[in-house]
Chains A and B, each alone.
Chain A
Amino acid sequence: MQLLPAPHEVLQAIAALWGRTGRGSDGAEVYVRVGRSLTIDLDPASGLLQENLGGGSHATVRVWTTQGFGRAEGWWSQVEELEELLAAARASASPGGVPPVQEGYEAIGGDGPPAGALSAERARARALQWARELEPLGTRIQALLVQQSLGWCGLFHSSGFTAHDWMAREQALVRCETPEGALVDGVAAPRLEGALDPSRATTRLSTALEALRGERSALDPSLPLVLRPPVAGPLVSGLAWALRGDVAAAAPALTRAVGKKIFPSVLSVRDDPRHPEGTVLRAMDDEGRKAASVTSIESGRLLGFFHSHASAARLGAVSNGRAVRADGGEPSPGNFNFHIVPGSASMPADRTELTCRVETFTTMRQPGVVSLLAAGWEYRGGARHRHVGPLELELPVLATFRQLQGVGPDLSFLPTSDGCGTPTLILSPPIWLGDSASK
């Protein structure tokens, strides 16, 4: 396959582009994403593989002119095509749009590419290793995927500001069918070297399968509710959504609560782009702003939200380097390793402990409310007393976190929950769970 351009090559090309075309009356920005990805899809029963490899260079050009804001995007392989995108963006300009501000932005781009490369041989070996590790579970594997990606994104502004960031990732995902529903689990790491150990996923799946077998029974809402990471994951992902700047802007009560203690002291929330256990590793966001660790909730006090430039402007704040461009779209607030800070809570002797989440089509059909299908055990005096569930839970995100009484030490980052990390969460009774009856 053709080699993909390196950041310095693109920088030179775009500098030449500004020289030829002029920098525009107010400004222009070229956002480039260059990379390749590899997917191995293994059918364990037959041993047959589907391999899918590909990639290229994609650019999104935005301009701010006297006519307004214009935008164009597309794949490119030659500088002339970037020039054509720039011309198309200028031609499309119409009133509106907020120019970005790079003043005070720290130029980023000293790091070279990460170690490692895409390797079909390694990905195949991983897939076969995972299939072997999963076999003792005795479930029907519906899908087993190993995915690798390597690339970089860069921002080149007509003011001369430039920034780029390399990204690597490898993940394995598995979907198992059981008579009680599908279980999905996986492991991801922001690197292409080192082990992608299946043991955490197989342990979680084994625990989940154990919770699904047995007589169904209802939950006792008078007991504390313990959510193990696979069950807590969507709830934490829901909290990450609620703390996005664009979402918070539509919730005046929440924006007025900044600075106030609105959650229990056991809750601290952080977003750390360089967390050693995280699923991503970022130096900058997709607007070129340095991505440092951000604490949104500290000991129950709401400190702020996660912002892109536009969402920050709406709330009179400053971007904190959390702009994400999904599929080359407009930047919007996102997260890099959002997680609940682990604690040291001890487990209540009497409790309902949910260890298994059955896959559903969506976990947030209604904004701000997480829907789950989960199962586990009721404990009495510290010993397992009976199976619970599978049962359906409807958890209003913010209200549920206000009932947090403890946070465990077992932080896990879950690619199946938008990469969010969570330890075990302990919720105090009485708990409004929606439908607490057995399914």
Chain B
Amino acid sequence: MASERLESFFLEHRLLTEASHSGGTLRLTRAEREVGCSVESSTGAGAHHVWYPLSPRAPAPDALPAEAKSALRRLRAPEEMTAPLLEPLRELTLALEATVRQAGGTSLEALVHDSQQRVICGPPDAWAEGERRHCILELRVSVGTDKQRPSQLWRPFWFPEPGALVAAQARLRTACEEMTRSLQAWPALAPCPEGDLPVVFPPGAASGSFFHEVCGHPLEGDVVARRGSYLALRLGERVAEEFVTVTDDPTEGNSSLHYAFDDEGQPARGTALVERGVVGQPMLSRATARILGQETNGHGRRVSFRHYPLPRMTHTGVAAGPHGTLEQLLAPVGRGLLVQHLVPRHMNLLSGDFSFFILEAREIRDGSLGPLIGPGVLSGNGLQALRDIEAVGGDRRNLFATRGCRKLDHGPLAVSFTQPSVRFRQLRITPAR
């Protein structure tokens, strides 16, 4: 090992549990427990990381400081983290499926994902210790079998841990009823329109991936260091109206992914990516901060102990604005789209051109919501889209991304979004084939 001195270490005990409900029963589909560590030393040419999986009887690596070895003993104790009990979850998903059927729906699929992590990390003289946990429930309600019907709706729900999920049965049953009735209200999908149309994103919707892709990735520290994005080339420039602020804030902690320190043990700080319409600061890890001659702002994250830290997003989205509620943002729209769910299709970091698959959207007609539409593509350019944000509501809500964020060959990494109602003057809509 070409080591000079120990810069930092990362110890992790992680337990991931997944259970899937379909065909009337809940089954455990994943239960992975890992303990491992990574040790970082500096070299003349950069950073050198060495990672070790730690089986139950494996000794602590010699490179760890004595205090860290002591902390490792309690971190790796399996009784400190246990998998959630399946039976309460099984009863819950059965109850939710019964609710869907009673409301006239065909079926319910559910996925429960519980992530527990205990981390000790940082420089040898100033390391931090903490726990991170989140539990996500995904519900997919189906109605009817006719191919012309809008047959499915999908919604994710976040909980701090499985007990809170089980305790929220009443709220979830209401959500299932609403999803079922929403599908029944519109017997057929309307054709996806085509053209440059006003678009509204509702609060807390999976269209929040838009700002993650269009504002977040272009302002990750390594991208900025290589001047590899359209926003990296415009630091300090105005790109949107005064009421538009986009942040990545790992500290918020309100039904969102959050931490007090990043995976390098550095204090986490909220970062304004776009502040009152002006391109702000990049998200930094220690290595990228060094390249840019700045201090890290606590965005160094790892997929696991087997991966070195990179500047990554955590909780990204639009700050609450002055324009009221969703209904107020919809009111002036004669014809447009309310886009609930987007998945990224293509993002050109240098030019800002983007396209997303529209998985769920509804027509807006004269300020009111109409039918669900068939699949489509939403496209445009990041600079133009930011300029075209003409209203931001005050109704901000948070949402966990269920499939995580990938970068290089690292990933997926858990992230979340925050979003109030947002209205764009226009974005390009194209029917998908």
Contact = CB atoms under 8 A, between A and B. Distances in A.
B116 interface: no
B298 to A, nearest CB: 18
Interface stretch (A140-148, A229-237, A253-261): A140-148
Contacts, number: 135
A178 B350 contact: yes
11 contacts: A48-B45, A53-B1, A54-B306, A74-B56, A75-B34, A78-B55, A81-B55, A358-B346, A361-B346, A394-B433, A435-B430
A51 B47 contact: yes
A271 B276 CA distance: 56
Interface string B301-345: 000001110000000000000000000000000000000000111
A202 to B, nearest CB: 19
Interface string A26-45: 00000000000001010101
B415 to A, nearest CB: 15
A124 interface: yes
A179 interface: yes
Using C-beta atoms within 8 Å of the partner chain, give the interface range for chain B: 35 or more
A141 B226 contact: yes
A50 interface: yes
Nearest to B351: A179
B105 to A, nearest CB: 24
B45 A54 contact: no
Given A75-B34, A434-B433, A179 B348 contact: yes
Contacts of B46: 48-51
Contacts of B35: 75
Interface of B: 1-2, 32-36, 38, 43, 45-58, 222-223, 225-229, 287, 290-291, 306-308, 343-351, 353, 357, 408-409, 430, 433
B350 A140 contact: yes
Interface of B is mostly: mixed
Interface string A303-318: 0000000000000000
A305 B235 CA distance: 53
Interface of A is mostly: strand
Q: What are the nearest 7 A-B pairs in CB distance?
A: A54-B51, A49-B46, A75-B53, A56-B53, A48-B46, A75-B55, A77-B58
Contacts of A78: 55, 57-58
Contacts of A177: 228-229, 348-350
A140 B308 contact: no
A41 B345 contact: no
A373 B430 CA distance: 16
A124 B349 contact: no
A45 B225 contact: yes
B350 A75 contact: no
B357 A52 contact: no
Contacts of A50: 46-47, 49, 287, 308
A47 B45 CA distance: 7
Given A75-B35, A75-B53, A140-B350, 16 more contacts: A43-B225, A47-B45, A50-B47, A53-B50, A54-B38, A56-B55, A74-B56, A75-B54, A75-B58, A81-B55, A179-B350, A180-B351, A181-B346, A182-B348, A358-B346, A360-B346
